[in-house]
Amino acid sequence: MKVGNCMTRNVQVANPEQSIREVAENMGRLDAGVMPVGDHDRLVGMITDRDIAIRGVALGKGPDTKVREVMSPEVKYCFDDEDVEHVLENMGDLQVRRLPVLNRDKRLVGIISLGDLATNGEAAEAGEALSDISKPGGEHSQTAH
């Protein structure tokens, strides 16, 4: 199965100059824990509810703090025509639960989550990826920043 067959489309994108309050409100409305961050049609980062809590609130930053101050600037992504098995393996290696999905023109076309993959017939592989994702540490550990 290809990523494009099971990803979430119509993804809302945060702007690096938005406040973390605005993004948190949007996340609440969308029932989402992550948003891609785009600047002038270019993907420049990702922001999660955890980024807001740990890199924002826990460090004494207020609700008007700009997204760029707490987002993760490194963007890991996959392509919509990739096989889900390969993407699941990458998610486990990268220790991430979600990836933005780009087309081959490098335009954002969706987002894929471990849950999307688990509910689309890839439960065993998703479980394996979750086991890798859940290991302590890794590149995206909040304590490493």
Residue-level pLDDT, tens digit, the chain, 145 residues? 899 998 999 899 999 999 999 999 999 999 999 999 999 878 999 999 999 999 999 999 999 999 999 999 999 999 999 998 888 888 888 888 899 999 999 999 999 988 787 776 554 454 554 555 455 655 545 555 4
* 23, amino acid identity: V
Neighbours of 31 (CB within 10 A): 6
Q: Which of 98, 126, 108 is nearest to 27 (CA)?
A: 98
Looking from the CA of 66 toward its CB, the CA atoms found within 13 Å total: 6
Query: Which pLDDT score, from 0 to 100, does residue 96 have?
Result: 85
pLDDT at 104: 94
How much is the pLDDT for 130?
52
| 34 closest CA partner among 98, 102, 105 | 98
pLDDT for 62 equals 96
CATH number listed for the domain at residues 3-134: 3.10.580.10
pLDDT confidence of residue 95 = 83
CB 104 within 8 A of CB 71: no
